[in-house]
Chains A and B, each alone.
Chain A
Amino acid sequence: MEGGVVYENDLNLKATELRLGLPGTERNEEQPVSCTRNNKRPLPETRDQDGGTKAKYDAPHADPDTPHAPKAQIVGWPPIRSYRKNSLQQPKQTEAESAGMYVKVSMDGAPYLRKIDLKVYKGYPELLKALENMFKFTIGEYSEREGYKGSEYAPTYEDKDGDWMLVGDVPWDMFMSSCKRMRVMKGSEARGLGCGA
């Protein structure tokens, strides 16, 4: 076939002739070896001997003898959008479910934030001690009425609703599951919180 000729009104007869030969067997142009694309398609004879229900896709790894051999997955097939594919899987593991429960901790006045793993601590006393060590400050004594008395610092956390809460009011487990990040407040802001404002 003369390549590169535009057929405006006439179709080349070859294009319209019915062929009895097997498809793909009569190629006038040589496919050079350097074209790496796999252009094979299964011929009718390659279907399963038992008249199986599926025609085999001629994927490089397909092995007709072991039906459980993993198929080479075809890109973009079946045609399902990615967000749909993703939502069929389990929801992303939340931080609480994966190993370690890291939350950011910021300290007023500190140049950068830190991260701590809440799962490591058994309760508030351990957590507060760790914060004291990490940021080199002293937290006062906790009381329900007055918050953290005797220090100009107050440890706070952001809960799932986006509200900033004083650390220590709720049971430890409830704190662990609702704490998204922490902030050690300093100065008048902290005192305001401590006075139950």
Chain B
Amino acid sequence: MLRMARSLPEEVLEHVFSFIHSDKDRNAISMVCKSWYEIERWCRRRIFVGNCYAVNPSMVIRRFPEVRSVELKGKPHFADFNLVPDGWGGYVYPWIAAMANAYPWLEEISLKRMVVTDETLELIAKSFKNFKVLVLSSCEGFSTDGLAAIAANCRNLRQLDLRESEVDDPSGHWLSHFPDSFTSLVSLNISCLGSEVNFSALEHLVGRCPNLRTLRLNRAVPLDRLANILRRAPQLVELGAGTYSAELRPDVFSSIAGAFSGCKELKSLSGFWDVVPGYLPAIYPICSSLTSLNLSYATIQSPDLVKLVSQCQSLQRLWVLDYIEDIGLEALAAFCKDLQELRVFPSEPFALEPNVSLTEQGLVSVSEGCLKLHSVLYFCRQMTNDALVTIARNCPKMTRFRLCIIEPRTPDYITLQPLDDGFGAIVEHCKDLRRLSLSGLLTDRVFEYIGTHAKKLEMLSVAFAGDSDLGLHHVLYGCENLRKLEIRDCPFGDKALLANAAKLETMRSLWMSSCSVSFGACKLLGQKMPRLNIEVIDERGPPDSRPESCPVEKLYIYRTLAGPRFDMPGFVWTMDEDSALRFS
């Protein structure tokens, strides 16, 4: 075997490797022998770093010198819910600075939950002559000045996607920085921008980019502008409308309806803030070809939603507010047989009483009617074990199941029992489950079920659940493929963590906040596990100003080759071998 490997010329091997795209496979290739490792590392073009602090840029650059596409993730997932204090970290500038020197031919940068500055964007704009794709997902720290630099300098830009980022001091004129000669845009997502963009610049841009396939506008684009934009881009495949509201007028209606009908390729719709239902029929002509519909900002009530979804027979993905109610989900189950992903968001998450009639029954209906359903995010106010068991039996192919019962520790509302058995059924029947979020009243038993059955589980989110360390132990001990575990407000302490310390090196990260892990245990872990960063996040001041047995506020543990980081703010401490000395 070894002789054969040596006898194949490098170019042949490289050509073979060029068909291998997944990181897992490429990593496997590079472990075959030294020469394969060498060949592979020179021809790897895409890098994915799931935790920007797990490795440092120079390590990546040293091993992979010819990279064209980089994807980085920064803050832990719970940062989405304001659990990670501002200033924690996730700065991308050091990466960009290093890559500006090492990868002049870099084409794609995708960042998630990272702090991006205008300086960073300017550096990107100047450094990469063939830059094509910029995706900033849930990022922050930059303004439209940075975007202007990208627009002005990236002659071959194909994709600019700002999904869900926070952009400071938005001014609409950055769009005008795309020169008139710029025509290469394929995808533009500015739906997160707060203020108006310059509409004539936008229309001109849309009109001169014949390959534009994806256009997601922001709320500030009024309905009467939409028709013009659509007419300039009838080839659009994905559209995010802006505000879908205007005085009902027949001429405006027919203008918009006509514009939509002209878009024969449209498969995906989103946006639709402040919907005036009278304008919804304008999209009926294209409903039957829609595969993706994101109405999670649209204040459409269930009768209109029913009319809409019953025409979307090709629908594969639906994101919607709970205005759809059980009755709308029944219609979904009846008409949308290809549905694969459903997300139902709460319209009034902080209301004490339910404002809509959306219960466990809605999700049960969808599980009965939509046999391809495999990805669920469902916010509701009541649930039963029976419903969960039914859903589990109906959807054995479920891969992502996230249930959020809005009131913490809510039991089965009929039997008043914990929901252990219901979630137990989910993990038992859904053998391919990769992601799970729990809610409701849960004891240690649910974790026993998870540890026993959820062998493919990669990400678990837990809140207000469990009774003791046994719960955490079950998960750490039993879930062989666990990569990310995030826990808040659970009575989990030191024992399970210390007993399963080695497990933590097999995971990307563990987050625990408002739990019972003591400072002493953190120090111990830091001493024993040099390849983990044990970050104590505590805004009450230095942890050694309190007794060792005192629980830390927040704990973020991740494996790393880069050692402790140097950009920590004052409320973050890394426990390492020296921590015992430093803190005594």
Contacts and interface: CB of A to CB of B under 8 A. Distances in A.
Interface of A: 1, 3-8, 11-12, 14-16, 19, 23-24, 29-32, 34-37, 39, 41-42, 47, 51, 53-55, 57, 67-68, 71, 73-85, 87-88, 91-92, 160-163
Best-buried of B243, B408, B496 by chain A (most CB within 10 Å): B408
B547 A80 contact: no
Interface of B: 78, 80-83, 138, 164, 166, 172-173, 176, 192, 194, 196, 198-201, 219, 243, 273-274, 296-297, 345-350, 352, 379, 382, 404, 406-411, 413, 416, 437, 441, 461, 463-464, 467-470, 473, 488, 491, 494-496, 498-499, 501-502, 514, 516, 518, 520-521, 524, 528, 540, 546-551, 553
B348 to A, nearest CB: 8
B115 to A, nearest CB: 16
Contacts of A30: 549
Contact of B78 (A15, A36, A47, A76): A76
B441 A55 contact: yes
7 contacts: A36-B540, A37-B553, A47-B411, A71-B352, A79-B80, A82-B82, A84-B296
B484 to A, nearest CB: 15
A76 B487 CA distance: 12
Given A11-B499, A29-B549, A162-B198, A80 B81 contact: yes
A75 B80 CA distance: 12
A42 B82 contact: no
A33 B418 CA distance: 32
Contact of A74 (B80, B408, B540, B549): B408
Contact of A12 (B82, B176, B495): B495
Contacts of A8: 502
A8 to B, nearest CB: 8
B80 A81 contact: yes
A24 B550 contact: no
A20 B463 CA distance: 23
Given A3-B518, A162-B201, A81 B408 contact: no
A24 B492 CA distance: 11
A34 B164 contact: no
Contact of A15 (B437, B496, B521, B528): B496
Nearest to A34: B546
B200 A161 contact: yes
Q: Sort A-B residue pairs by CB-CB distance and give the 9 closest, nearest first.
A: A76-B81, A23-B467, A162-B198, A35-B550, A7-B499, A55-B409, A53-B413, A76-B83, A15-B495
Nearest to B437: A79
Contacts of B192: 83
Nearest to A71: B352
A79 B404 contact: yes
B550 A160 contact: no
A77 B80 CA distance: 11
Contact of B408 (A31, A57, A92): A57
Contacts of B164: 81, 83
A6 B528 contact: yes
Nearest to A75: B82
Contacts of B501: 6
B81 A79 contact: yes
B178 to A, nearest CB: 14
B200 A68 contact: no
A54 B495 contact: no
Contact of A87 (B273, B409, B413): B273
A179 to B, nearest CB: 14
B150 to A, nearest CB: 20
